[in-house]
Amino acid sequence: MTKMSDVAKLAKVSTATVSRVLQKPDTVKEETKKKVLEAIKKLDYQPNILARNFRRLETKTILVVMPNILNNVFSEIVVGIDYEATKNGYQVILGNTMLEEQRAHGFMNHLKQKQVDGMILLTARVDIDDLVKVANEYPLVLVSDYLEESDLVTTVAINNMKDSYTITEHLINLGHKKIAHISGPLDMSICRDRLSGYQDALMDHDIHIQYDYLTKGDYSFQSGYDNTLNLLALQNPPTAIFAASDIMAMGAIKAVKSKGLQVPHDIAVVGFDDVEFSKIFEPALTTMAQPFFDMGKTAMQLLKQKIVGEQVQNQFIELKSELKTRESCGFNLK
Amino acid sequence: MTKMSDVAKLAKVSTATVSRVLQKPDTVKEETKKKVLEAIKKLDYQPNILARNFRRLETKTILVVMPNILNNVFSEIVVGIDYEATKNGYQVILGNTMLEEQRAHGFMNHLKQKQVDGMILLTARVDIDDLVKVANEYPLVLVSDYLEESDLVTTVAINNMKDSYTITEHLINLGHKKIAHISGPLDMSICRDRLSGYQDALMDHDIHIQYDYLTKGDYSFQSGYDNTLNLLALQNPPTAIFAASDIMAMGAIKAVKSKGLQVPHDIAVVGFDDVEFSKIFEPALTTMAQPFFDMGKTAMQLLKQKIVGEQVQNQFIELKSELKTRESCGFNLK
DNA sequence: CTGTTAGCGCCTTCAG
DNA sequence: CTGAAGGCGCTAACAG
């Protein structure tokens, strides 16, 4: 491994000068610089980044913790983070917890140990006290998911309650009154909010909330499928189903079809997220499109501010979703 | 930032002892160890990993370079890598090139600069000379994709030619003679091999290869769609289409449907990969299931051997795929 | 079993 | 504009 002193020797300068050529080339005389650069080239010198990181106490790396790499919702956010990070000279590394809360805390240690300059969490399913503590001491941003007390940690997310209200209202406007909901895991604020938005919309339109229409899924295709089967078996089954994620909506549609019924003809289904696949699926999903790319990008911008030390107030940044009307919920029933 | 010397002072021992407690606890007397651990706890001491990495010249981190984080084929391999890496105390970081070859070389620099202990590449679309050179000097394993001369770099992959032959033969056995192919990008060995396997199968069964049945896709849904539209417009359209990836197969099916035709009734379609979604898609895809998890796991095992310095011969590890017969290619035409 | 010592390679004053 | 010198925090001999 050739090191800086080798370069210095060959170029007949000091290591300080080599370092300067690398860091602040403008402060070095043209001629000297040339000598040094030649030596670097000749020796194929690569600076030892480990030593540099150690010395500088920074890594130019940020860690993104995602709960499930196989869920494209998260991958799409990562693309936005990656875009903004690369633009600013940061490297992105991904931590995948596979839904194990403990692993998320392992990753937080990396932040504490300065193995990375900052961290973006795509899940709030962690020990909250620890999270808040870490977020106050180190650069950390939460995206998509959030805490009940949303101003404890800087957060970028959509307004799940409002968006959920909107999509439910869309079904109501289409003439539906018997609308069921398949929620995500209710230990997530984000899922509770989607549930609330749904309930609020019904109430505001004087529609009675029927409790056997409220089912609990876990974001998986299978849970969308199973819950729908149960809903269809009800004495008075719903005419519309609002699933809290596209994947569950797809499961719901599969279940409807399995009973020989048609979507949207016999029953309308809407999802939430607008992952890539929702357009391809048949029928194409009517869903609430989250601004994934922007969420990632915005989160990285805030994180960078924190890293470079601008005193950023903890804040909750709300981004706008967009209702995508496609085939799965059909047209006016009235 | 509290450091090791602080702990040493509080525990009234030397830093060497503190270090030993952390590294080789067995070599320290029980009593001393207790004192040190107490001091660590009291001060909430976190070792400076940057310093440690620097000192040890290792990071216990491996870098996985994937061409497209949104393509689940790669994510599924990563899960296997992650599993094996975590088991062995390695951290996985992901580099996403978004199909830009240059970025892959940027990541190789990280390896050269010892920012990571090893590297797993999920694409061979890079400068080959550079790749071979790096692979000979540093721990590197290629997965899924491979070089023309496949023994230049340690590689884990399936036998694309054989698997492609198998799935083509499956169509032939079903009675098809007019079989079209939608290939992936032909600058990838993997795609050329899939094309070859297809051609070999036809030839072995004395089926004339019709050149307007050979179309070139790029792994995208859209390219599957467009190419299929072209195939259907032929004077003598095929009765079956073999797409070199599931996503393209889905595009193909969409195109068939858009013409008012049915799959598999009017035209059979098969894919390749067996991503999660292929089961959900309608009709469910007949496809060649790659052992993604095992590929990732095996690659990580080999990489670890290289990292710890076992002289591993460059080798090509071949894993077995499995034909999944589902709905999209129907039954015997005979 | 424990302490002393000597760096790892780089960056950053501080002088000149 | 350049060089000398010190030290970041940790670990690995080497003694004792």
Chain segment A87-136, per-residue pLDDT in tens? 898 888 888 887 778 888 888 888 888 888 999 999 999 999 999 999 99
Q: What confidence tens digit (pLDDT) does each residue in B77-88 have? A: 999 999 999 889
Cβ atoms of residues A181 and A213 within 8 Å: yes
Residue A298 and residue A317 in contact, taking contact as beta carbons nearer than 8 Å: yes
Name the least confident of A25-34, A150-159, B321-330.
A25-34
Cα separation, B66 vs B123, whole angstroms: 7
In chain B, positions 38-97 with C-beta closer than 7 Å to nucleic chain D are 47-48, 51-52, 54-56
Q: Is the pLDDT of residue B268 over 70?
A: yes
B294 Cα to chain A: minimum distance (Å): 16
Mean pLDDT score of chain B, rounded to an integer? 92
Task: State which residues between 29 and 48 of chain B bring their CB within 7 Å of strand D.
Answer: 47-48
Q: Does residue A333 register a pLDDT over 60?
A: no
DSSP state of A261: -
Domains of chain A: 4-53 (1.10.260.40), 61-158+292-319 (3.40.50.2300), 160-290 (3.40.50.2300)
Q: Which of A254, A277, A282 to probe the B interface (max B CBs under 10 A)?
A: A277
Can you give the pLDDT at residue B180? 98
- The answer to whether residue A303 scores a pLDDT higher than 80 is yes
Give residue B334's pLDDT. 44
Predicted confidence at residue B92, as pLDDT, reads 86
Please tell me the distance from the alpha carbon of residue A77 to that of residue A294, in angstroms, as a whole number: 8
Average pLDDT over residues A10-19: 90
- Give the chain A residue nearest B45 (alpha carbons): A113
**Per-residue pLDDT for B206 more than 80?**
yes
Greater model confidence, B99 or A246? A246
Instruction: State the pLDDT confidence band at A165, using cuts at 50, 70 and 90.
Output: very high
pLDDT for the residue numbered B28: 86
The number of residues making up chain A comes to 334
Residue among A93, A99, A119, A254 with most chain B CBs within 10 A, to mutate? A93
Is the pLDDT score of A297 beyond 70? yes
Residue-level length of chain B: 334
Confidence label for B332 from pLDDT (cuts 50, 70 and 90): low
Asked if A277 reaches chain B (Cβ–Cβ under 8 Å), the answer is yes
Out of A70, A82, A254, the one facing B79 most closely (by C-beta) is: A70
Statement: the CB of B254 is under 7 Å from strand D = no
The answer on pLDDT for A311 being more than 80 is no
B245 to chain A, closest Cα gap in Å: 15
Chain A to chain B Cβ contacts (< 8 Å): 98
Chain A residues whose beta carbon lies within 8 Å of the beta carbon of residue B92: 94, 96
Q: How far, rounded to the nearest angstrom, does the alpha carbon of residue A237 sit from its chain's CA centroid?
A: 34
R_g over Cα of chain B:
26
Most confident range, picked from A33-37, B62-66, B290-294: B290-294
Is B280 within 7 A of strand D by CB distance? no
How many Å does it take to go from CA B98 to C1' C9?
34
**Distance of B137 CA from C12 C1′ (whole Å):** 33
Interface check B98 vs A, CB under 8 A: yes
Task: Tell me the percentage of chain B whose pLDDT exceeds 90.
Answer: 66
B54:A54 CB<8 A: yes
Cα A321 from Cα A133, distance rounded (Å) = 30
A76 and chain B: CB distance < 8 Å anywhere?
yes
Largest interatomic CA distance in chain B: 89
pLDDT category at A334 given cuts 50, 70, 90 is very low
Please list every residue in chain A whose beta carbon sits closer than 8 Å to the beta carbon of residue B274: none
Give residue B280's pLDDT: 92
Give the model's pLDDT for residue A130: 92
Do A53 and B53 lie within an 8 Å CB cutoff? yes
Contact residues, chain A, for B110 at CB < 8 Å: 49, 91
More confident residue, B107 or B73: B73
Q: Using 50, 70 and 90 to split pLDDT, how confident is the model at B331?
A: low
Q: What is the pLDDT of residues B111-134, one digit of tens each?
A: 888 888 999 999 999 999 999 999
- For nucleic chain C, which protein residues have CB less than 7 Å from any of its atoms? A 1, 3-5, 15-16, 19-20, 22-23, 47-48, 51-52, 54-56; B 12-17, 20, 27-29, 31-33, 54-55
What pLDDT is attached to residue A224? 97
Which strand D bases fall within 7 angstroms of a protein CB? 1-5, 7-13
Chain B CB within 8 Å of residue A94 CB: yes
Closest-CA residue of B relative to A47 is B113
Least confident range of A171-185, A194-208, B139-153, B307-321: B307-321
Angle at A275 between CA A270 and CA A278, to 5 degrees: 50
Percent of chain B with pLDDT over 70: 99
Q: Considering only residues 111 to 170 of chain A, which have any Cβ-Cβ distance to chain B shorter than 8 Å?
A: 112-115
pLDDT at A331: 66
Query: pLDDT band at B26, cuts 50/70/90?
Result: confident
Residue B202 has pLDDT above 50, yes or no: yes
The confidence score (pLDDT) of residue A244 equals 97
Of A113-122, A253-262, B226-235, where does mean pLDDT reach its minimum?
A: A113-122
In chain A, what percentage of residues exceed pLDDT 90? 67
* A299, pLDDT greater than 90: yes
CA A267, CA A182: separation in Å to the nearest integer?
14
DSSP assignment string, B3-22: -HHHHHHHHTS-HHHHHHHH
Of the candidates A91, A93, A114, the beta carbon closest to that of B50 is on: A114
Strand D closer than 7 A to residue B185 Cβ: no
Residue A32 phi/psi, 5° resolution?
-60, -45
Q: Cα separation of B179 and B242, whole Å?
A: 7
Q: What is the mean pLDDT of chain A?
A: 92
Please state, in angstroms and as integers, the Cα–Cα distance from residue B190 to each residue in A177, B6, B186, B196, B296, following that order. 53, 56, 8, 10, 17
* Per-residue pLDDT at B262: 93
Answer yes or no: do B114 and A51 touch at CB < 8 A: no
Chain A residues with CB-CB distance to B113 below 8 A: 46-50
Nearest to B114 among A50, A54, A277 (CB): A50
Instruction: Kindly report the backbone phi and psi dihedral angles of residue A182, in degrees, each rounded to the nearest multiple of 5, phi listed first.
Output: -110, 110
